[in-house]
Chains A and B, each alone.
Chain A
Amino acid sequence: MTRWTPDPTFYPSPSQAATAPAEKLAYVAAFDRSASRPDAIAVLDTDPDSPDYGRVVGWTDLPHLGDEVHHFGWNACSSALCPTAPHPHVERRYLIVPGLRSSRIHVLDTQPDPRQPQVVKVIGPEELSKRAGYSRPHTVHCGPDGIYLSALGGADGAEGPGGIAILDHTTFDVRGAWEADRGPQFLAYDVWWHLTQDVLVTSEWGTPSMIEDGIIGELLLGRRYGHAIHFWDLAKRRHVQRVDLGDQYQMPLELRPAHDPRKSYGFVGVVISVEDLSASVWLWHRDGDAWAVTKVIDIPAEPADPADLPDLLKPFGAVPPLVTDIDLSVDDKFLYVSCWGTGELRQYDVSDPLHPVQTGSVHLGGIVRRTAHPSAPDEALAGGPQMVEVSRDGRRVYVSNSLYGSWDDQFYPDGVGAWLAKLDVDVDAGGLTPDERFFPHGEEFRGRRVHQTRLQGGDASSDSYCFP
């Protein structure tokens, strides 16, 4: 488990991470909506020189049914080089794969055969509940001293509060709840940090009952989903500040802090405004000693014929963009914004983070548009770019099309399908082009829906760096 030399996939700084060799494999969370077959981790070949490029070349079924695998992550990453708890001789080797519905946590070993990860440990929901007081595990982050795992629900599936559980780096045992003082925080979703500044940030979705059977219109219009982000003292594990975006801005989900450890800003994507169905991206930044947020991107809803819309949207006669994921390139230059409702991936130059400039756009799928992929122009696509993963060198972007089982069914009632696309990036001028050779879809995923992608060796949303 420990090496004599540092894991070669660890980098002290973002600029060095950007020089990393290109990933040869990608791991994709794939789940069975009917819960009649096991969820799986699918392994994709991402080596353009390989005869299997763009195809599923490995498959690991999980041992139980009904997990609904969602987000997952590596056991260790570049933060192992951080000076407070340095141990760069651990390996980036295990994938920590939580089941969002089952509350089970799986540990998969990607060695010795990276194409056939093996399940080496399953942590039952009772351990997460008993030791940390949480359920519905969601986001995984490899910290310098342990694995941080956010969870939406309280013990035994209680409505909350959600929070963060800490897993041991090497035994993967649940050590306990992270929070020493959670202040007013109750709802949970994503977690990330400004590691060198001892700052942790969390966002808000909803409690288990608010999400598991689909989005609840009355709760949404009643502005009951999350609409704030929280700042914490990472060292003292204490709540510091709650910043409210305004209750019309429902569901601030994905947090993407600048990778440069000297910078004190980050982006958060907001799914929907109940006033006009628009989506938005906000910047958090310092305001003296406190934190503030500023809306920097606004994406309006698109008018549509109610006949083309799912029941939930018929009364509005418009398609909401539904920004459900964002991702920031490792050099902090480009922000990618998923519009899962309208079926668009946007690229913004955020070199000046307060003033993003749109530099690229690709349409795929969408509630009304159903844009086809250029390699299969006759196949109308359902779903839209959802989870975005950016390679460490920023040249490749992977998008998958499923959001969350019951929500897929609401917005794409005729079936969301399963597809994953790779886009090539012009890193100088900006711009995105779908790779026609890379479009695994349909039966390739064995009837499962595809959610998050993780790249071999790490990616833009899985590593943190302590050196500039």
Chain B
Amino acid sequence: MTVRTLATLAALGAFHGLNPAMGWLFAVARGLQERDRAALLRALPPIAAGHLASVAIVAALVTATRSVTASTALAVVGGVLLVGFGLWRLLSERHFRWAGMRLSSAQLAGWSFLMSSAHGAGLMLLPVLVAEPVSGGHSGHLAAAPVGALTGLAAAGVHTVAMLGTALVVAVLVYQVLGVGVLRRAWFNVDRLWAGVLVAAGLVTLIRA
């Protein structure tokens, strides 16, 4: 992976981490309910793990199944999917709900996994992963798949570390300094921006294909 790829993956991670719907808000709520910053901190790793799982599935699939011929097809199909999914997110009024407020760590990870998947978090990495130059002379062979998948997992890892870091900073900042009142003033509509980014990512993928 190039430095530019890594930077893009990290930037997208930060973007995901910034979104209250991806989990930091849940962590803040935990902290406030229990009046304990440790509760907040304990909530974030399962949330990041769920996010990682969601993103890693897409990333591993994309990088593992890629070949010279397949990559164009993948890029086109992926691009169309992304644009479609982005538009659906933009236009859909339905809201995701899976569970209540009292969740175990495993349930929290599951919640985060579904939340990330329903928002198309992994799909957003598609243009970065598809643009990544095919490495080694054996590309096009299925034998390269495990290596490719590893690249994908590494990409998901970089992304998730950035996501977790951002979520941690925002959550602690809101909990310690700003207070939940900031939600009323500063919570711009990330969902709309998110959908826009999905559409943009799809277009980029299509153009490159």
Q: With both chains docked as a complex, state the minimum distance between the C-beta of A93 and any C-beta of chain B, in angstroms.
A: 13
Q: Which residues of A contact B100 (CB under 8 A)?
A: 84, 198, 233-236
Q: Which residues of A contact B21 (CB under 8 A)?
A: 86-87
Q: How far is the CA of A274 from the CA of B99 in the complex (A)?
A: 42
Q: With both chains docked as a complex, state the minimum distance between the C-beta of B40 and any C-beta of chain A, in angstroms.
A: 12
> A196 contacts which of B101, B181, B185 (Cβ < 8 Å)?
B101
A58 within 8 A of B: no
Nearest opposing residue in chain B for A11, CB measure = B184
Nearest opposing residue in chain B for A88, CB measure = B187
Q: How far is the CA of A81 from the CA of B182 in the complex (A)?
A: 12
Q: Which residues of A contact B102 (CB under 8 A)?
A: 196-198, 235
Q: If A86-B21, A198-B100, A235-B102 touch, does A3 touch B183 (CB 8 Å cutoff)?
A: no
B150 within 8 A of A: no
Q: How far is the CA of A30 from the CA of B87 in the complex (A)?
A: 43
> B184 contacts which of A8, A145, A197, A233 (Cβ < 8 Å)?
A8
- Contacting pair A84 B26 (CB below 8 A): yes
Q: With both chains docked as a complex, state the minimum distance between the C-beta of B191 and any C-beta of chain A, in angstroms.
A: 7
- Contacting pair A467 B29 (CB below 8 A): yes
Q: If A4-B189, A86-B21, A468-B32 touch, does A235 touch B99 (CB 8 Å cutoff)?
A: yes
User: Chain B 122-141, CB within 8 Å of chain A: the 1/0 string?
Assistant: 00000000000000000000
Q: With both chains docked as a complex, state the minimum distance between the C-beta of B17 and any C-beta of chain A, in angstroms.
A: 15
A380 within 8 A of B: no
- Contacting pair A466 B29 (CB below 8 A): yes
Query: Which stretch of B67-75, B90-98, B152-160, B197-205 is in the interface?
Result: B90-98
A312 within 8 A of B: no
Q: How far is the CA of A197 from the CA of B34 in the complex (A)?
A: 12
B25 within 8 A of A: yes
Q: With both chains docked as a complex, state the minimum distance between the C-beta of A120 and any C-beta of chain B, in angstroms.
A: 15
User: Chain A 428-468, CB within 8 Å of chain B: the 1/0 string?
Assistant: 00000000000000000000000000000000000000111
Q: If A84-B97, A87-B95, A198-B101 touch, does A13 touch B180 (CB 8 Å cutoff)?
A: yes
- Contacting pair A2 B189 (CB below 8 A): yes
Q: How far is the CA of A4 from the CA of B183 in the complex (A)?
A: 13
- Contacting pair B95 A6 (CB below 8 A): no
- Contacting pair B99 A89 (CB below 8 A): no
- Contacting pair B184 A1 (CB below 8 A): no
Q: Which residues of A contact B26 (CB under 8 A)?
A: 83-84
User: Chain B 163-196, CB within 8 Å of chain A: the 1/0 string?
Assistant: 0000000000000000011011101110110000
A85 within 8 A of B: yes
Q: Which residues of A contact B14 (CB under 8 A)?
A: none
Q: With both chains docked as a complex, state the minimum distance between the C-beta of B42 and any C-beta of chain A, in angstroms.
A: 15
Q: If A4-B192, A261-B33, A466-B29 touch, does A85 touch B97 (CB 8 Å cutoff)?
A: yes
A–B complex contacts, Cβ < 8 Å, 17 sampled: A1-B93, A3-B189, A5-B185, A6-B187, A10-B184, A11-B184, A81-B184, A82-B101, A83-B25, A86-B20, A145-B95, A168-B94, A170-B93, A197-B101, A233-B100, A235-B99, A467-B32
Which residues of A come within 8 Å of B, CB atoms? 1-6, 8, 10-13, 16, 81-89, 144-145, 168-171, 195-198, 233-236, 261-262, 466-468
Which residues of B come within 8 Å of A, CB atoms? 20-21, 25-26, 28-29, 32-33, 93-102, 111, 180-181, 183-185, 187-189, 191-192
Sorted nearest first, the 4 A-B pairs with minimum C-beta distance are: A235-B100, A198-B100, A170-B93, A12-B180
